[in-house]
Amino acid sequence: MKIPEAAVERLFFLAALFCASLALFILVFMLVLGRPLLTGDFLPRLLTEPWLPDRGLYGILPMLVGTVSIALLALLLALPMSLGCAVLISVIRPPRFGPLLERVVEFLTGMPTVVIGFVGVFLLVPLLRENLDAGSGRCILAAAIGLAGLIAPTLILFFSDAFARVPAGWRQAAAALGCSRSQIFFRIILPHSLRGLASGVVLALGRAVGDTLIALMLAGNAVAVPHSVLSPARTLTAHIAMLFAADFESLEFKIIFACGLLLYLVSLLLTLLIRGLERRGRCRI
């Protein structure tokens, strides 16, 4: 039987084109549906006003502050432990324990976020409520701890890959010159894996900003601008998820698309940043 080569190739091409166009299609949808809000005089109000629909104020400033503070705090919490684990996996390399730790971390990347949120609600939140002055216990800190658990595996895998990519010859040369392990790490491995570390941080930040369930379950979802890590907050993603407006013409509903557009643009920016980091890294080597 003769296979129609050209036709099949065309089919493959159309499939690729279709999948790629989805990325643009989603952007266009958000732009069109959120368009009424993107005019010159509404945009600044959208980004700076509080969310008080009863008084005609539809700003998303509280959600912006909530998203940024939860994501950054999560990163801050996850970073030291992730670096330590990556050093153990790729630099110290204990023969049995290293690969074991690596397997566990790989498994953790597939941990369902809703399960992390669930454990957070029934283990972490009561703990914070009883030991800190955190109101109901649902607060920025709770969400950030949960999110740190979500992004730590990603960070560890990225960091240990970045460390492992530093050529073994360089380490051996340094060792032959009499460098100690910490000297090798701080003078050879760390400076040459900064770019890999940076792209890991950017990717983890993207996951932290884009995650919905953990913040929705643990942050308390208050719409006031938070003033401390123990006050409740709402993220942009949670704001979309809490959409219960039945009226699709309402301003509340259109604001949802502005939030969606903002999240899209942030993830786009982070994706471009990672690609830039990886490409320039490749040119160097």
Partner 1 sequence: MPDLKIRDGGTLGLTLFAWLSAFTLLGLVAVVLGFLLLKGWPALQPGLLFGDTPPLQALLLRRPVFDGLFPALVGTLALVLLAMAIAIPPGLAAGIYMAEYCRGRTKRLLGLLFDILAGIPSIVIGLFGLSLTIFLHRHLFPGLFPCLLISALSLACLVLPYLIRTTQAALEEIPLRIRLGGAALGASRLQNIFLVLLPQALKGIGSGILLATGRCAEDTAVIMLTGVVASAGIPNSLFGNYEALPFYIFYISSQYADRTELQRGYGAALILLLLCALLFLASRVVRRRLTRKFLYHH
Name every residue whose Cβ is closer than 8 Å to that of residue 134 and which is 6 or more positions away in sequence.
Answer: 128, 141, 142, 230
Query: Rounded to 5 degrees, what angle do the CA atoms 137, 139, 141 make?
Result: 105
With beta carbons less than 8 A apart as the criterion, state whether 209 and 71 touch.
Answer: yes
With beta carbons less than 8 A apart as the criterion, state whether 218 and 147 touch.
Answer: no
Task: For partner 1, give the closer residue by CB, 175 or 224.
Answer: 175
Under the binding rule (CB under 8 A), the answer on residue 172 touching partner 1 is yes
Half-sphere exposure of 187 (CA within 13 A, CB side): 13
Q: Which of 213, 233, 255, 277 binds partner 1 (CB under 8 A)?
A: 213
Stretch that binds partner 1, among 41-49, 50-58, 87-95, 129-137 (CB under 8 A): 87-95
Under the binding rule (CB under 8 A), the answer on residue 195 touching partner 1 is no
Q: Which of 66, 69, 82, 232 binds partner 1 (CB under 8 A)?
A: 82
Q: Which of 87, 144, 205, 219 binds partner 1 (CB under 8 A)?
A: 87
Instruction: Give residue for tokens 């123990």.
Output: 230
Stretch that binds partner 1, among 51-59, 113-121, 129-137, 222-230 (CB under 8 A): 113-121
140-155 burial string, b = 16+ CB within 10 Å, else e? bbbbbbbbbbbbbbbb
Q: Which of 44, 45, 53, 122 binds partner 1 (CB under 8 A)?
A: 122
Question: For residues 238-267, which are near partner 1 according to CB under 8 A?
Answer: 240-241, 243, 248, 256-257, 260, 263-264, 267
Task: For partner 1, give the closer residue by CB, 66 or 206.
Answer: 206
x/- mask, partner 1, residues 36-65, rule CB under 8 A, reads: ------------------------------
Stretch that binds partner 1, among 40-48, 68-76, 86-94, 128-136 (CB under 8 A): 86-94
Q: 124 exposed, middle or buried (CB, 10 Å; 0-12, 13-18, 19+)?
A: buried
With beta carbons less than 8 A apart as the criterion, state whether 151 and 81 touch.
Answer: no
